[in-house]
C-alpha cells in the first residue's frame, strides 16, 4: 500500500467511526434527558442515591439525574478523542481499540444507570421510595455497558495486528 493510499484508508476509517463516536453518544444522551424530562412529573422528588450498611441515602431526583447525565459526558468525550488521536497517529491496535471501546461503553453504562433509575421509580408514591432503584441502576449499567462494548467492538474498524517488537 502506498503512503497516499494508507492515508486515504485511515481517513475513510475515521470518517466511518465519527458517527459511532460522536453522533450516537450525543443522541443517546439527548434521548435519555428527554425521557427524564418527559417522565419527571411521574417520578418522586427524592430518590435513593446510596445504599450501604448505614442505610439508604436520599437526594433530589433532579440533582441525581443531572450528576448522572454530566458523568456520562466525560467517558464519551475521552473515548472519542482517544479514537480520533489513535486514527490520526496510525496507532489503531487491539489495545487502543479496547481502550476506546471501554471508555465509550462506560458512557453508555452511566446512561444505563439513569434509564434504569428512571424506569424503576416512575409512578412510585414518595412514601414507597426505597433503595431498589439503586440496584436497578446497577443492573442498567451492566446491561448497557455490555451491549455497548459488544456493539462497538464489532462496529469500530478492525484493529491492526500488533507490530513485533
Any long-range contacts for 33-41 (C-beta under 8 Å, 24+ apart)?
33/69, 35/115, 35/118, 36/65, 36/69, 36/114, 36/118, 39/118, 39/122
Cell 479514537 belongs to: 83
Pairwise CA distance, residues 139 & 18, whole Å: 29
Task: Please tell me which of 12-16, 58-62, 122-126 the model is most confident about, judged by mean pLDDT.
Answer: 58-62
Residue 67: the pLDDT is 96
Q: Can you state the percent helix, strand and coil of the chain, rounding each to 5?
A: 75, 10, 15
**Entry pTM:** 0.88
Report the chain's terminal Cα–Cα distance, integer Å. Answer: 22
HSE-CB at 117 with a 13 A cutoff on CA atoms is 31
pLDDT, one tens digit per residue, over 15-70 is 778 888 999 999 999 999 999 999 999 999 998 888 888 888 889 999 999 999 99
Distance of alpha carbon 117 from alpha carbon 76, whole angstroms: 20
Mean pLDDT of the chain: 89
Q: Is the pLDDT of residue 6 over 60?
A: no
Q: What percent of the chain has pLDDT over 70?
A: 92
φ, ψ (nearest 5 deg) of residue 115: -60, -45
Q: Between these two residues, 112 and 162, which has the higher pLDDT value?
A: 112
| 69 bridge partner residues | none
Amino acid at each position: 500500500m502506498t503512503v497516499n493510499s494508507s492515508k486515504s484508508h485511515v481517513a475513510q476509517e475515521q470518517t466511518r467511526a465519527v458517527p459511532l463516536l460522536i453522533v450516537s453518544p450525543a443522541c443517546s444522551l439527548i434521548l435519555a434527558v428527554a425521557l427524564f424530562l418527559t417522565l419527571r412529573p411521574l417520578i418522586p422528588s427524592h430518590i435513593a442515591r446510596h445504599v450501604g450498611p448505614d442505610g439508604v441515602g436520599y437526594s433530589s431526583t433532579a440533582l441525581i439525574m443531572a450528576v448522572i447525565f454530566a458523568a456520562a459526558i466525560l467517558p464519551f468525550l475521552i473515548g472519542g478523542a482517544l479514537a480520533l488521536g489513535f486514527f490520526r497517529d496510525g496507532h489503531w491496535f487491539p489495545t487502543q481499540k479496547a481502550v476506546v471501546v471501554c471508555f465509550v461503553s462506560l458512557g453508555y453504562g452511566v446512561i444505563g444507570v439513569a434509564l434504569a433509575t428512571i424506569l424503576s421509580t416512575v409512578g412510585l408514591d414518595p412514601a414507597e421510595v426505597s433503595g431498589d432503584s439503586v440496584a436497578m441502576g446497577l443492573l442498567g449499567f451492566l446491561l448497557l455497558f455490555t451491549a455497548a462494548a459488544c456493539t462497538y467492538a464489532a462496529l469500530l474498524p478492525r484493529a491492526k495486528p500488533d507490530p513485533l517488537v
